[in-house]
Chain A
Amino acid sequence: MSALRPDLRIIADAIPAGVRALDIGCGDGALMAELRAEKRIDARGLEIDAAAIEAAMAQGLSVVQGDANRDLADYPDDAFDYAILSQTLQTTERPDRVVGELLRIAPRAFVSFPNFAHWRVRLSLLWTGRMPVTRLLPVAWYETPNIHHVTVRDFRELLREKGIRVEGAWYLSGDKPTSDAAASWRAEHAIFLIARG
């Protein structure tokens, strides 16, 4: 349980107990299991990979096979209190629409993503002139699932355009928190708690 990924740890700590939550791109259900054990949350999951779903279902977690690009439409308005989208936004076909769907399904959402403006990424691009391959983004451009790289500033701009409120923001450098002020270049990871405007 303590091995929870740092961005998931932040979400697990920040979410109130007993709420209804949907974890989109839940993988093998690590966060859902933590929420069940620690927060009495009967979380639901959406995941595309059958092997990961099988692992989650083997633990008795409620995970449905589906695609965040298409299948969020199946959930009614306000079906949940919180939607969670961790490390998945940058893999979607239309991240702007997915964010809209999150806040249709739930009044609040946690969204975490790798920050493409981290200094390592900036330097790598500057020095080598090639798409960065870093610890957090370890896959070459032609095979990465991350088709919509996004930076902290890009995401904030999208929220502003859509009139979405930010209720919380956490930044990680390595596995350690980093300050708001330097987040744009020092954060490897960003976690936002967003809410309908």
Chain B
Amino acid sequence: MASLLHQIQHQSVTIPAALPLDSGQSLPSVTIAWQSYGALDADKSNAVLICHALTGDQYVASDHPATGKPGWWARMVGPGKPIDTDRFHVICANVLGSCMGSSGPATPDAATGAPLGMAFPVITITDMVRAQAMLLDHLGIERLHAVIGGSMGGMQTLAWAASYPERLRSAVVIASAARHSAQNIAFHEVGRQAIMADPDWQGGQYYGSARAPTKGLAVARMAAHITYLSEEGLTEKFGRRLQARDIKSFGFDADFQIESYLRHQGLAFTDRFDANAYLYITRAMDYFDLAEPHDGRLAGAFANAKDVRFTLVSFDTDWLYPTAESRRIVQALHSVGAAASFVELSAPFGHDSFLLDVPALDRIMAGALGAGW
């Protein structure tokens, strides 16, 4: 399916300037695919950048071109919605390293024309943000009203505040963290190993072949999907109920509803995501530690961000990026004197709560964007 995925046409721009990367390498030019919603003011002061999560994309409020499903945050973004496109010009760009039109492992090598595969350089969250800044430069947008993101989008938002504090007024960070924990890295490594152990992965050069590592990618998605849900939510939704049968099969079919659900989630994912992109983006998240360049002091990352208004939200059932991580960020913001808001919301959906129906989050979002002064 990966080949079909790469045939989709996206709105994009290729910026003919080098993008220096944290690894020391650089990309000679960078292609960024993006979507925008709502009109940009004449003085270009109402732009809001939404940063998407690991497997997200720029189609935040429009139908996904591969699956036809509504945008991943359509409930949050649109006319009259908390991120109100009648007021704001909302931009969402596909992250560097991904597979929805921005530069990534499927990008052709300039010399040979063949997809780069594993020759694409390893990138970081800060590299993603650097690419977004290049897009904004291209669009002539100097300063953002807000940068908003959940999960990996929240990491980019934090990196925005650290790298370009003068370019944003507000930062909204939902269900996120300032670093990947050992547990976070561990789950990602399981996913990567599942992909690379699939013989169809072929060292990452599967693009031209008839085989793609869909089995490995599906297993990676299954493992990750568990981390997005809460135990309570799983128990409520599936319990120990059996799938389309009255008795256990005494075999290895998907006896349980949860097995069937995960298999479906894994398989459906391979229709809309590229295995190599999954490797690169999970790596970028694992490398993320905003305090690292500041001798482990997170406050150092925010030294110049004291004029940015931060809003942080965690969820009580999110064990992937738990409340303690948001509190650590709040402490760092206190020590630089930045305006910070933080609340742990109660929601049953685990990490995925940021994408789902949590009315309190809608009100907080509107407040974070609206009542500026």
Contacts and interface: CB of A to CB of B under 8 A. Distances in A.
Interface of B is mostly: mixed
Interface string A175-190: 0000000000000000
Contacts of B334: 64, 74-76, 79
B364 A64 contact: no
A42 interface: yes
Interface in A80-133: none
Interface residues of A, number: 20
A36 B335 contact: no
B366 A58 contact: yes
A69 interface: no
A136 interface: no
Contacts of A42: 339, 373
A62 B339 contact: yes
A169 interface: no
B364 A54 contact: yes
B337 interface: yes
A57 interface: yes
A43 to B, nearest CB: 10
Interface in A23-44: 36, 42, 44
Interface string A38-63: 00001010000010011011111111
A60 B370 contact: yes
B341 A61 contact: yes
Contact of B364 (A57, A76, A79): A57
B330 A64 contact: yes
Nearest to B299: A76
B339 A58 contact: no
Nearest to B367: A58
Contacts of A44: 339-340
Given A75-B334, A76-B334, A76-B335, A60 B371 contact: yes
Given A42-B339, A61-B341, A64-B330, A50 B346 contact: yes
A50 B335 CA distance: 23
B94 interface: no
B339 to A, nearest CB: 4
A42 B339 CA distance: 8
A65 interface: yes
A44 B311 CA distance: 12
A64 B340 contact: yes
Given A54-B360, A76-B334, A79-B334, A60 B372 contact: yes
A62 B373 contact: no
Contacts of B311: 57
Given A42-B339, A44-B339, A65-B342, A58 B364 contact: yes
Most B CB contacts (10 A, CB to CB) among A42, A44, A58, A60 go to A60
Contacts of A58: 363-364, 366-367
Nearest to A54: B360
Contact of B344 (A50, A76, A79): A50
B21 interface: no
B126 to A, nearest CB: 26
B298 interface: no
A64 B330 CA distance: 8
Contacts of B360: 54
Given A64-B334, A64-B342, A76-B335, 18 more contacts: A53-B341, A54-B343, A54-B345, A57-B311, A57-B343, A57-B363, A57-B367, A58-B363, A58-B366, A60-B367, A60-B368, A60-B372, A60-B373, A62-B341, A63-B341, A63-B343, A74-B331, A79-B337
